[in-house]
Amino acid sequence: MSRDAAIARATDYFDSGAFRTDLARRVALRTESQNPERKPLLDAYVEEEMRPALEALGFTCDTVRHERAGGPFLIAERIEDRSRPTVLGYGHGDVIRGLDDGWSEGLSPWEMREVGDRWYGRGVVDNKGQHSINLGGLKAVLETRGKLGFNAKYLIEMGEETGSPGLREVCTEHRDRLAADVLIASDGPRLSAERPTVFLGSRGGVTFDLWIDARDGGHHSGNWGGLLSNPGIQLAHAIASLVGPTGQIRVPELVPAEVPASVRRALADCEVDGGPDGPAVEPWWGEPGLTPAERVFGWCSLEVLAYETGNPKTPVNAIPPRAWARLQLRFVVGVDAQAVLPAVRRHLDRHGFPMVQAALSREEIFRATRLDPEDPWVTWAVDSIARTTGKKPAILPNLGGSLPNDTFSEILGMRTVWVPHSYPSCSQHAPNEHLPVAIAREGLAMMAGLYWDLGEAEVPAR
């Protein structure tokens, strides 16, 4: 009975093909939470996959629902000794739409296939593969030690890809049942494929629409050009007043006052690298004076997600009556999500664009969260991962994307340490989503080591 034995058992689970079989079965369930027709499959993932897997590990499971949520939540508990630490795990079994027609020849989102050193399929990284790796690590420790040596709880939701409706309410209602010392979960990408990573929160996300309704119907561009305002041009200038030609945000309320010193120290050795399949970083884009890592993990970005005016597919010789754009602000701690839209409104009015209307989209607002990179739980987790892999993990103060991490850090009031099992160019949310097999195998080893260490006496003070 040893740490090395638990890690070996976890990698044997991979090498035997058993992990691949389990993940392929889960990928085959078309759990697209944006598609109302898939609701029975959201239930099936919880009842036919997660409940049996967790009950086999000695967890007591309870399925709960909320009126706002399209799918169920599974709450699982295994309490061994209340004097020992309690860790909460989290995962989501829903996936983004399959986009079946966009996958490369021979690939399908619903049949996991191995090509080269990668597994392809919808959910292999977001998020079925990631929580399957963590459950495999728990299983290896339990089978090796005969117990975990700590208390474990798990929360599986089925609506993360639609903004986690109902998650905050469920966690508020079941706060006592979900209480823990620390969240250890997996989602999102590593800093790079080769480097183990921990991130400690997430950037927030606010999505909003800007539009101009100038008049009813279009008018001939020859007869009326130069006489009628063009909403497409006006909206382009309005957006240009919000964010400059090199991506610098021009609204002070949409950025933090500074990058904290502890964040700068954590990011000092972090290099953003999407790998051979990813785009090259453009160093001239974004907030000047910051490193690429600081721009994505320590600052904010304002992006245009879509823009439409006229008839894009069949342009006609007419001044369009309307223009519309959807923008998204990814923001860090220090920016008030509720103040974003009022600040945009004031800015537009101040710069001569009262004709531009603004409103939040229907998507949920994700709040920005960040655990101090120098927190003892971070040091503990990084040391454990380094001991297993022989590599120095990257410490990201927060993920560049958005997660419902505020549910855990604010509502449940716990520290949050995320250990991702993916990489930046995994095609998450796109056709050809894939998981490098090396990351999956190393992830199983890392999590077995991490869970083993949780059962030892030396853990951060509660």
- State the pLDDT at residue 47: 98
Please identify which residue in the block is written with the tokens 């410490």. Answer: 395
CATH at 243: 3.30.70.360
Instruction: Tell which of 360, 381, 397 closes a domain.
Output: 360
**Which residue range forms the structural domain that includes residue 152?**
3-202+367-454
Total domains in the chain come to: 2
* 32, 148: one domain: yes
The burial of 326, by beta-carbon neighbours within 10 Å (0-12 exposed, 13-18 middle, 19 or more buried), is given as: middle
Percentage with pLDDT > 70 across the chain: 100
> Where does the pLDDT of residue 401 fall: very low under 50, low under 70, confident under 90, or very high at 90 and above?
confident
- State the pLDDT at residue 448: 98
Distance (Å, rounded) from C-alpha 79 to C-alpha 87?
Answer: 10
| Tens-place pLDDT, residues 147-168 | 999 999 999 999 999 989 999 9
- State the pLDDT at residue 118: 98
* 92, 213: one domain: no
- Per-residue pLDDT, averaged over 168-190, amounts to 97
What does residue 252 show for φ and ψ, rounded to 5 degrees?
-55, -35
CATH at 106: 3.40.630.10
* 412, 325: one domain: no
Instruction: Tell which of 311, 337, 360 closes a domain.
Output: 360
Instruction: Tell which of 344, 360, 376 closes a domain.
Output: 360
* 318, 425: one domain: no
- State the pLDDT at residue 459: 87
What does residue 340 show for φ and ψ, rounded to 5 degrees?
-65, -55
User: Which helix or strand (DSSP H or E) is residue 329 part of?
Assistant: strand 322-331
Q: What's the token pair of residue 87? A: 């860790």
Would residue 271 count as lying in a domain?
A: no
pTM: 0.90
Peptide bond before 398: cis, by omega within 30 degrees of 0?
no
Asked if the model's pLDDT at residue 363 lies above 80, the reply is no
Peptide bond before 127: cis, by omega within 30 degrees of 0?
yes
* 313, 409: one domain: no
Amino acid at 159: G
**How do strand 219-220 and strand 318-319 relate by DSSP bridges?**
antiparallel
